Chains A and B, each alone.
Chain A
Amino acid sequence: MDFNQVFMSKVVKVIVVFTLLTAFLSIKNNTFAQVDSVASLPVDTAVAPTQEAGAVVNHSEAHEEKEKGFDITSFIFHHISDSHYFTLFGHGDHGFHLHLPIILWTNSGLVTFSSSDFKFNDDGTQVVEKNGQRFAMAHNKIYYANATANEHGAFVSHEVKDGAEVVTNARPLDFSITKNVFSMLLSVIILVIVFTIVASSYKKRQGKSPKGMQSFLEPIILFVRDDIARPNLGHKYAAFMPYLLSVFFFIWLNNILGLVPFFPGGANVTGNIALTVVLAACTFLIITFKGNKYYWGHILNPPVPWWLKPLMIPVEIFGIFTKPIALAIRLFANITAGHILVMSLLCLIFIFNSLWIAPASIFFAVFIGLIEFLVAFIQAFIFTILSALFIGMAVEEHH
């Protein structure tokens, strides 16, 4: 626990330094507000919702300024958000894309079609008609289209809410194989193939020293067992090993795939709250169902003077939920922050509109990229060790 704190604080420090650097570099630029809001996102994960609201404002502002110059915020957010296309190279109609299938559960049942039908229209101007229903896509989300277009030619209606422009149209349930889903399924397939091969080589070389891929992965497996599971779970570690190992390798591989800038990487899987929420929920369920009487006793009858109990019991009950929420937010924010930082540094070239800034920009982007490579491992480690710690606290026998 001690040294992941060090790692975290170090990374946070570096991120703060470069955020400030980015902010000062772009101080004379008209896009200052956007860069600031984008770049300050990683500084504090706890205020992510407010930052996010700010980003949305900037985004809508930027939307209006589209003609004036390069819109860095929407560019970056386009890259870190989910998509119905997987771009191999190029941009828009001129690029080469993988058109991922769209699966919708609508008012009148299941509707499937290819995302190519939208012809890369992301502002609701293209309507796709299937099964007598009309759909439009705006900001990578699919809505029921309006009957008529508005003054911008969009079939979705907007409304400004809390200073942010939101689409008010109803949405069908979207079970599409998006970029994130595609990338995540790919990582699942890779993990299953790699580890079944490793498992078979264990069978083949029974009792012998590891070889090849086995010798690369065995130290990591042993690291998870000896440094994560055993210190936190004690002698009960064996039952939780499959979960911890799966979580660790799943997060790590997806973190690394997210750092690869081209196909099949590039999807921001672990930087998406949907994934981190699922993982944290799994930890939460394990804690809740494996928690023994001491754990629940500590929550419902904390060892404090009687007059403190009315205060402590709600706090303890609150604590049950804050732990997994913190897990989810931490992973999501760290990975998203890293992606935003790398993108921001690269965008400096376009903000200054000068080729001479490129060496510095690329140098810092590579530097942050290397740190991200470390963060990819550290975040997987932290998620796993905290899960192990929380589970360990829940299954611990009486002290």
Chain B
Amino acid sequence: MDLLVPEIGLLVWNTIAFLLLVFLLGKFAWKPIMNAIHEREQSIDDALNKAELAKQEMARLTSQNQDLMQQARAERDEILKEAKTLKDSILNEAKKQAQVEGAKLIEKAKIEIENQKKVALAEVKGQVSTLSLEIAERVLRNQLDDKAKQEVLVADLLKGVELN
């Protein structure tokens, strides 16, 4: 049994068949298969990379949104604060102005009253003088008859009239 001595015919057939096999499979099977596997792996890798990028983008957007929100909140607080101070100042201003205005009105009223009083006093003075003149005239007329009586009357009259 020469198991270890290769038969020449077998050698030839095996060589032809194996080389043919490598050629045929290499051309019609391995090339398309390996290319397809490679492409698919690449596309899977791409998809995964894209997903990763999308995730990062998402995270970025989320943090950005949060930032924006915080900013907006801070701004709102600022605005509210400003508004409050403004309101307070306006209120204070208004109060002050009202006081000033009120004081002015009161002053004016006082002056008016004073003026009116003066006018009234002047009028009263005038009437008093007129009245005094009339009384004096009447007294004079009555008393002129009697001298003593005239004097008493003038004294009484003068007592009754009070000047202020």
Contact = CB atoms under 8 A, between A and B. Distances in A.
B33 A198 contact: yes
A339 to B, nearest CB: 11
Contacts of B19: 282
Nearest to B20: A188
A391 B159 CA distance: 154
Contacts of A80: 3
Nearest to B35: A202
Interface stretch (B10-18, B73-81, B91-99, B149-157): B10-18
B9 interface: yes
Contacts of A208: 40
Contact of B1 (A59, A178, A188, A191): A59
Chain B CB within 10 Å, residue with most, of A77, A139, A192, A336: A192
A273 B3 CA distance: 7
A391 B6 CA distance: 25
B9 A198 contact: no
Contacts of B26: 242-243, 246
Interface of A: 48-49, 52, 55-56, 59, 77, 80-82, 103, 139, 173-178, 180-181, 184-185, 188, 191-192, 195-196, 198-199, 202-203, 206-208, 218, 221-222, 225, 238, 241-243, 245-246, 249-250, 272-275, 277-279, 282, 332, 336
A278 B7 CA distance: 11
A199 B29 contact: yes
Nearest to B28: A196
A191 B11 CA distance: 20
Contact of A192 (B2, B7, B14, B29): B29
B9 A192 contact: no
Interface residues of B, number: 36
Interface of A (DSSP majority class): helix
A336 B17 contact: no
B22 A336 contact: no
Contacts of A277: 6, 11
B21 interface: yes
B9 A81 contact: no
B21 to A, nearest CB: 5
B18 A279 contact: yes
Contact of B11 (A221, A243, A278): A278
A243 B27 CA distance: 11
B158 interface: no
Contacts of A278: 11, 14-15, 18
B40 A207 contact: yes
A154 B30 CA distance: 52
Contacts of B8: 173-174
Nearest to B27: A242
Nearest to A171: B8
Nearest to A281: B15
Chain B CB within 10 Å, residue with most, of A222, A245, A279: A245
B122 to A, nearest CB: 116
A81 B5 CA distance: 12
A207 B11 contact: no
A183 to B, nearest CB: 11
A188 B21 contact: yes
Contacts of B57: none
A242 B31 contact: yes
A241 B1 contact: no
B11 A241 contact: no
The 3 closest A-B pairs by CB, nearest first: A195-B29, A274-B10, A242-B26
Given A243-B22, A273-B6, A278-B14, A207 B29 contact: no
Contacts of B106: none
